[in-house]
Protein backbone atom coordinates (compact mmCIF):
# COMPACT_ATOMS: atom_id res chain seq x y z
CA UNK A 1 0.00 0.00 0.00
CA UNK A 2 2.79 2.44 0.83
CA UNK A 3 4.71 1.59 -2.32
CA UNK A 4 1.77 2.73 -4.46
CA UNK A 5 2.19 6.16 -2.89
CA UNK A 6 5.94 6.27 -3.51
CA UNK A 7 6.90 5.40 0.06
CA UNK A 8 9.72 2.88 0.44
CA UNK A 9 9.45 0.61 3.48
CA UNK A 10 11.50 -2.14 5.11
CA UNK A 11 9.87 -4.94 7.08
CA UNK A 12 11.79 -6.56 9.92
CA UNK A 13 10.46 -9.53 11.89
CA UNK A 14 11.92 -9.32 15.39
CA UNK A 15 11.30 -12.81 16.70
CA UNK A 16 12.57 -12.24 20.24
CA UNK A 17 13.66 -9.41 22.52
CA UNK A 18 16.43 -11.14 24.41
CA UNK A 19 19.16 -11.17 23.58
CA UNK A 20 18.54 -7.86 21.82
CA UNK A 21 19.96 -7.66 18.32
CA UNK A 22 22.11 -4.54 18.78
CA UNK A 23 23.27 -4.56 15.15
CA UNK A 24 19.66 -4.49 13.98
CA UNK A 25 18.83 -1.67 16.40
CA UNK A 26 21.80 0.34 15.15
CA UNK A 27 20.78 -0.25 11.54
CA UNK A 28 17.21 0.85 12.20
CA UNK A 29 18.36 3.93 14.09
CA UNK A 30 20.88 5.00 11.46
CA UNK A 31 19.35 3.79 8.23
CA UNK A 32 15.79 5.09 8.39
CA UNK A 33 14.20 8.49 8.89
CA UNK A 34 11.05 6.92 10.34
CA UNK A 35 10.32 3.61 12.05
CA UNK A 36 6.87 2.20 12.81
CA UNK A 37 7.03 -0.60 15.36
CA UNK A 38 4.02 -2.95 15.36
CA UNK A 39 3.82 -5.20 18.38
CA UNK A 40 1.25 -7.94 18.95
CA UNK A 41 1.69 -7.43 22.66
CA UNK A 42 1.71 -4.65 25.22
CA UNK A 43 4.04 -1.91 24.05
CA UNK A 44 5.47 -1.22 27.50
CA UNK A 45 8.91 -2.84 27.63
CA UNK A 46 8.66 -4.12 24.07
CA UNK A 47 10.88 -3.66 21.05
CA UNK A 48 9.69 -0.11 20.41
CA UNK A 49 10.52 0.94 23.97
CA UNK A 50 13.95 -0.63 23.68
CA UNK A 51 14.62 1.05 20.32
CA UNK A 52 13.67 4.46 21.72
CA UNK A 53 15.83 3.83 24.80
CA UNK A 54 18.82 2.87 22.62
CA UNK A 55 18.47 5.99 20.48
CA UNK A 56 18.33 8.15 23.61
CA UNK A 57 21.15 6.30 25.39
CA UNK A 58 23.47 6.72 22.42
CA UNK A 59 22.38 10.31 21.86
CA UNK A 60 21.70 9.46 18.25
CA UNK A 61 19.88 11.85 15.99
CA UNK A 62 17.71 8.90 15.16
CA UNK A 63 14.56 8.36 13.18
CA UNK A 64 11.10 9.39 14.22
CA UNK A 65 9.54 6.38 15.90
CA UNK A 66 5.92 5.41 16.32
CA UNK A 67 5.04 2.38 18.43
CA UNK A 68 1.77 0.57 17.80
CA UNK A 69 0.60 -2.31 19.92
CA UNK A 70 -1.81 -3.52 22.51
CA UNK A 71 -2.79 -0.90 25.11
CA UNK A 72 -1.96 -1.77 28.71
CA UNK A 73 -5.53 -2.66 29.56
CA UNK A 74 -7.75 -5.73 29.80
CA UNK A 75 -8.88 -7.21 26.49
CA UNK A 76 -11.62 -9.82 26.17
CA UNK A 77 -10.58 -13.13 24.68
CA UNK A 78 -11.55 -13.60 21.07
CA UNK A 79 -10.43 -14.18 17.53
CA UNK A 80 -7.03 -12.72 16.72
CA UNK A 81 -8.34 -10.61 13.84
CA UNK A 82 -11.01 -9.00 16.02
CA UNK A 83 -8.58 -8.26 18.84
CA UNK A 84 -6.04 -6.73 16.45
CA UNK A 85 -8.78 -4.54 14.98
CA UNK A 86 -9.83 -3.40 18.47
CA UNK A 87 -6.20 -2.46 19.17
CA UNK A 88 -5.94 -0.50 15.91
CA UNK A 89 -3.52 -2.97 14.34
CA UNK A 90 -5.18 -3.21 10.94
CA UNK A 91 -3.34 -2.72 7.67
CA UNK A 92 -5.20 0.53 7.09
CA UNK A 93 -4.30 1.95 10.53
CA UNK A 94 -0.67 0.90 10.18
CA UNK A 95 -0.41 2.61 6.78
CA UNK A 96 -2.14 5.73 8.15
CA UNK A 97 0.28 5.85 11.09
CA UNK A 98 3.29 5.42 8.81
CA UNK A 99 2.14 8.28 6.57
CA UNK A 100 1.42 10.53 9.57
CA UNK A 101 4.82 9.76 11.05
CA UNK A 102 6.54 10.83 7.84
CA UNK A 103 4.69 14.15 7.84
CA UNK A 104 4.01 14.97 11.50
CA UNK A 105 6.10 12.71 13.67
CA UNK A 106 5.37 11.49 17.20
CA UNK A 107 6.28 8.58 19.35
CA UNK A 108 3.18 6.64 20.38
CA UNK A 109 0.13 6.05 18.23
CA UNK A 110 -3.20 7.05 19.65
In the chain, what are the domain boundaries?
A: 17-103
Low-confidence ranges of the chain (pLDDT < 50): 109-110
For residue 23, what pLDDT is reported?
87
Q: For residue 66, which of 91, 42, 102, 31 has the smallest C-alpha distance?
A: 102
**Could you count the other beta carbons within 10 Å of the beta carbon of residue 61?**
7
Is-above-0.85 flag for pTM?
no
pLDDT score of 63: 84
pLDDT at 110: 45
Q: Which residues pair with 108 in a beta bridge?
A: 67
CATH pick for 17-103 out of 1.20.210.10, 1.10.10.10, 3.40.50.300, 3.40.50.920:
3.40.50.920
Amino acid 60: pLDDT = 66
pLDDT tens for residues 92-102? Answer: 999 999 999 88
Compute the distance between CA of residue 5 and CA of residue 82 in angstroms, rounded to an integer: 28
Amino acid sequence: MLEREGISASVVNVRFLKPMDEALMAELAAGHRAVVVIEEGVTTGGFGSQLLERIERNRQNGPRVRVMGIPDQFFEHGKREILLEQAGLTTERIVLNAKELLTKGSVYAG
